[in-house]
Chain A
Amino acid sequence: MRYSYYPGCTLKTKAKVYEDTTLQTARALGLEISEVPEWQCCGALYPLNTEEFFPLLSPVRSLAQAKAETNEKLVTLCAGCYNVFKRTNRTMRQDGEVRRKINDYLEEDYMGEVDVVHYLEVLKNDIGFDVLAEKVKKKLEGRKIAPYYGCLLLKPRDEMDFDDVENPTIFEDFLQAIGATVVEYPYKTECCGSYLSMANEKVAATAVGRILTSAFKNGAEALIVACPLCKYNLEALQKESKEAAGHPELPVYYFTELLAEALDVRE
């Protein structure tokens, strides 16, 4: 199976391990992944207003670039990029006025055609978790892992259409496929504070503390995430959080790190 791939800024720097372990596991699973040439930042956030079209120029440029190269599915990893691309695509399909303005400005003819998927969806839908389970070489037996979804993969519900917004299960199914023990806890979709960690750290630290303490009390040894900002918040603010001070630090991994371990391809 062949895919084009959009890394995004964070995957080339702070989240290099997310990219490395994805490419290692993709090779082991027989997926051919090629990076979109000359991609640029997606803008990190989808604009939540009706007036600003400029923030859409950057994601549309990268999507149009992906379309020009191939008609393969476009794989994303960062939950932020995935969220921005899916929402931008929907706008470009449904809103004729925005589509015309953006395309006129960019001198493109992009209609929202590129099929944007997350690597988790590739594992679930294209490979299948049952097939994945058969390819596992080192089951993560006895490892108690709490899935942490965050917000950007799931919301808004209609636009992302990724999983059940209140009780998603794709991470649980993934963890079972690689032989880990799933830790259930009530904070798996509760926001980690997102960009509040940049300007209102105490607020984000409290949100992070609640998530980690809940995971710990339910038996977690570690958490998995799909978003670099969630990972940063859960790790960096863990030390700042009064709520999380009462228990040992919990490591936070990208789900691909555990996948690389299970497939025994971690370099």
Chain B
Amino acid sequence: MKVTTDKINSNLISEVEEISGQKVSACFQCAKCTGGCPVVWAMDIYPHQVLRYAQLGLADELLNSKTLWICAACQTCDSRCPRGVDIPKVIEALRLILLRAKGGNYLHPNDLPAKVLENAPQQGLVSAFRKYAK
């Protein structure tokens, strides 16, 4: 990965900050978020790295990351963040940038197995489509 001034000055940071209402430069990389994340083992970029990549404007790496679809927004990380950064909001902003693009939906009703459609509570189905589709 290459860090350049072009990337750092890209509009990804301002877009993420505008959508999320969070200041990504506030993160000082203590990694407390990553330490407490219950699904970190399934992520390719860890929560504290998401913030670092955003600070450096590494848009391609972030927007192609599995992490965006693995975060369950449990909010363990932001309840512990010493800098008051709401990390799930930053991840949601990145997800929204993808979902808002044409054909950006991550989940379609046809993708759901019959057993899920039959047994899952409405709360789960509505939540999943709120997070994974527009």
Contact = CB atoms under 8 A, between A and B. Distances in A.
Interface in A174-226: 189-191, 193-201, 203-204, 206-207
Contacts of A197: 116, 120, 124
Interface stretch (B3-11, B17-25, B26-34, B57-65): B17-25
Given A45-B131, A195-B128, A229-B127, A10 B116 contact: no
Interface residues of A, number: 46
A15 B21 CA distance: 35
A156 B88 CA distance: 11
Contacts of A206: 41-42
A106 to B, nearest CB: 20
A95 to B, nearest CB: 11
Contact of A80 (B69, B96, B123, B128): B123
B124 A229 contact: yes
Contacts of B121: 10, 13-15, 228-229, 231-232
Chain B interface residue count: which class?
35 or more
Contacts of B20: 48-50
B105 to A, nearest CB: 11
B119 A199 contact: no
Contacts of A195: 72, 124, 127-128, 131-132
B120 A232 contact: yes
A49 B130 contact: no
Nearest to A41: B126
Interface of B: 18-21, 38-39, 41-42, 69-70, 72-76, 78-79, 86, 88-89, 92-93, 96, 106-107, 111-112, 115-116, 119-128, 130-132
Question: 8 tightest A-B contacts by CB?
Answer: A191-B74, A198-B128, A44-B126, A195-B127, A155-B75, A50-B21, A9-B122, A195-B128
